[in-house]
């Protein structure tokens, strides 16, 4: 399902905060579907 750029920005910031640990969000887990979706919109590199 496509995400708007605004949704994507919020999602990406939430992911970044989670990964970097500035504001760890214990409820935030990346699923395989999330990763596929982010890759499909070129937020994450392929790999």
Say if 47 falls within a structural domain.
no
Domain presence at residue 13: yes
- Three-state SS string over the chain comes to CCCCHHHHHHHHHHHHHHHHCCCCCCCCCCCHHHHHHHHHCCCCCCC
| Span 3-45, pLDDT tens digits | 688 888 888 877 776 666 555 555 556 677 777 777 777 665 6
Size (the chain), residues: 47
In a domain, 10, yes or no: yes
Statement: residue 46 has pLDDT above 70 = no
21 is a domain residue: yes
Q: Please state the domain count of the chain.
A: 1
Predicted TM-score of the model (pTM): 0.35
Q: Which domain holds residue 36?
A: 5-40
In this structure, is residue 36 part of a structural domain?
Answer: yes
Q: What is the pLDDT of residue 21?
A: 59
The answer to whether residue 45 is domain-embedded is: no
pLDDT given for residue 20 in this prediction = 63
Is 15 contained in some domain? yes
């Amino acid at each position: 399902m496509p995400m708007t750029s605004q949704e994507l920005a919020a999602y990406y910031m939430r992911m970044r905060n989670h990964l970097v640990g500035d504001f760890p969000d214990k409820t935030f887990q990346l699923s395989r579907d999330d990763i596929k979706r982010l890759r499909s919109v070129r937020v994450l590199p392929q790999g």
